[in-house]
Amino acid sequence: MKVRKIFDTKIAELDMTAMIDMVFQLIIFFMVLINFAQDDQNDKIKLPASELAKPADSPLTFPITLNLDSTSTIYIGASIATVDSIAPLLRTEISLLTSRNQTPKDANIVIRAHRNASGGMVQDLIKKCQELGFEKFVLRVREETL
């Protein structure tokens, strides 16, 4: 009697078609949702919520983003400052604007303040920017989920 051996002739092969399909779907999902344009955001800032918050229809002209946390520290790009020490950083931005034939009046100061920051500190920050010639301010908030 001849006994057939198992594994002598057949190679065990996994059918990976379904797995590759699924992995491609996952990659497409994450690629579509990934957002690289979050460089101006700061994880330490928890924005206040507003039911009227809607994304701007058009991008802001010359936005300068100031992140103000609950301890009154201001993050502007990679630099850290306080209200009293922010003027040199803003002057750097002004010289950049000047090199593009623009004035501080053309720029938009985007204030991303922590919800627990003191309102007076935001006022101080606005006042400091006003002293340097900035006029347009944008208070950034988080969309409130109803």
Partner 1 sequence: MKYATKSSSQKGELQLTSMIDVIFLLLIFFVMTFKIAAQEGDFNIKMPIGGGPGSADSTDLPIKLRLRANADGELVDIVVNDSLTFGNDWTKLRGYILNVTGGNAPPTPEEGPEVEIDLDYNLRYEHVIGAVTAVTGQRLGDEVKRLVERIKFAPPRKPQ
Residues that bind partner 1 (CB under 8 A): 16, 20, 23-24, 26-27, 30-31, 33-35, 38, 41, 47-56, 60, 105, 110, 113-124, 126-127, 130-131, 133, 135-143, 146
List residues bridging with 63 in a β-sheet.
Answer: 108
Q: Would you say 100 and 80 are in contact if contact means Cβ atoms under 8 Å apart?
A: no
Min CB(1)–partner 1 separation in Å: 30
* Nearest distance from C-beta of residue 143 to partner 1, angstroms: 4
Q: Among all chains, which residue has been given the structure tokens 């034939």? A: 101
User: Please, which residue, 99 or 145, has the CB nearer to partner 1?
Assistant: 145
Q: How far is the CB of 73 from partner 1 (least distance, A)?
A: 14
The C-alpha atoms of residue 49 and residue 34 are separated, in whole angstroms, by 23
Q: How far is CA 104 from CA 53, 94, 127, in A?
A: 26, 6, 14
Question: Which residue from 69, 22, 25 is spatially nearest to 46, judged by alpha carbons?
Answer: 69
- The phi, psi pair for 75, rounded to 5°, reads -110, 120
In the numeric block, which tokens belong to residue 110? 């985007």
- Beta bridge partners, 80, equal 75
Nearer to partner 1, 3 or 30 (CB): 30
Q: Least Å distance between CB 64 and partner 1?
A: 14
Nearer to partner 1, 37 or 78 (CB): 37
Residue 3 or 140: which CB sits closer to partner 1?
Answer: 140
Cβ at position 135, least distance to partner 1 in Å: 5
- State which residue, 60 or 81, has the beta carbon closest to partner 1: 60
